[in-house]
Structure 1
Amino acid sequence: MVKRCTSMSVFEYSNPHPKGLLTTDCVVRAIALAFDKDYLEVRRELNQSKKELGFGSYKETKFIYKYLERFDRIVLKVPKGVPRVKVDDFVELFKEGTYIVKLSKHIACIKDGKLLDTWDSSYRSVYTAWKIK
């Protein structure tokens, strides 16, 4: 059982979009932040990969799993009736390193205990995660 984190927020605002726009680009944003890459370069790479792998969009869950399959995947199994691990609790379990976390209808980057994103999704459940570094 994971004890609920009640200390400081794990969220840290980070927007790698070159114009600082707030868009629905969580896949590009998370990957750019996790790999310390240019936002536009990541978007080009994702568009190329989706074509090569036969997907219609790089936002598809199956594409994300395929794209990240070369990294160690962390599956957080939870017994029936027990709440899933939330982002703020995940950070307590994995304090160091870089992770991409798959949430419900969202994906984000966590680096050394900080959720890097344009909005605070630390209350959301983590379905799976990939250790990047």
Structure 2
Amino acid sequence: MWHKFNPNPRGSSVGDCVVRAVAAATGQDWEKAYLGLALTGFIVGDMPSANRTWGAYLQKRGFKRSLVEADCTTCYTVADFAREYPRGVYVLGCSGHVLAVIDGKWWDSWDSGAECPIYYWYKEENDADL
């Protein structure tokens, strides 16, 4: 189920999907997530929205990465993932989009349930410092 989420202070919902997803998954506000991603991007020499930048940011916060194991990579959707993982915090990387799934709901500024995830970041359930 889609949970409408747009913490962008100006209401923008274009170009900042990584910031929104990281904010949702870490419990940070948009500004703190943006600054953390920008600093990480500066350190690794890439843009805040680059896969390696937000991956490094999440990894430093205890998240682990896993590939989506699906028989059909073009028909397994965000909605399917959310049903399969009804508990936990995940950040999904799709082709050209990033979003958070929290306790079986995808958090995004638009209904991205039909997007196809390629990989995801997750935090072990017993990790309490989200």
TM-score range, shorter chain: 0.7 to 0.9
1:3 is matched with none
The corresponding residue for 1:28 is 19
Q: Percent sequence identity over matched residues?
A: 28
Residues 1:117 and 2:128 aligned together: no
Q: Taking structure 1 as the reference length, what is the TM-score of the superposition?
A: 0.81
CA distance in 1, matches of 2:11, 2:116: 27
Question: Which residue of structure 2 aligns with residue 60 of structure 1?
Answer: 50
Matched, 1:91 2:76: no
SS at match of 1:122: coil
Range that drifts further, 107-116 or 14-23: 14-23
Displacement, 1:15?
Answer: 0.8
Give TM-score, length-normalised by structure 2: 0.83
SS in structure 1 at match of 2:33: helix
Residue 117 (structure 2) aligns with: 126
Which residue of structure 2 aligns with residue 5 of structure 1? none
Larger Rg: 1
Question: Which structure 1 residue ranges, 5 or more long, are not aligned?
Answer: 1-9
2:28 aligned counterpart, secondary structure = coil
Match of 1:105 in 2: 96
Q: Secondary structure at the match of 1:120?
A: coil
- Between the two proteins, the alignment pairs up a number of residues equal to 121
Structure 2 spans left out of the alignment, 5+ residues = 126-130
Of 63, 74, 95, the residue aligned with 1:71 is: 63
Cα-Cα RMSD: 1.7
**Kept in 1: contact 2:37–2:54 (CA 8 A):** no
Q: Structure 1: which 4+ aligned runs deviate by more than 4 Å?
A: none
Distance 1:101 1:16 in 2: 18
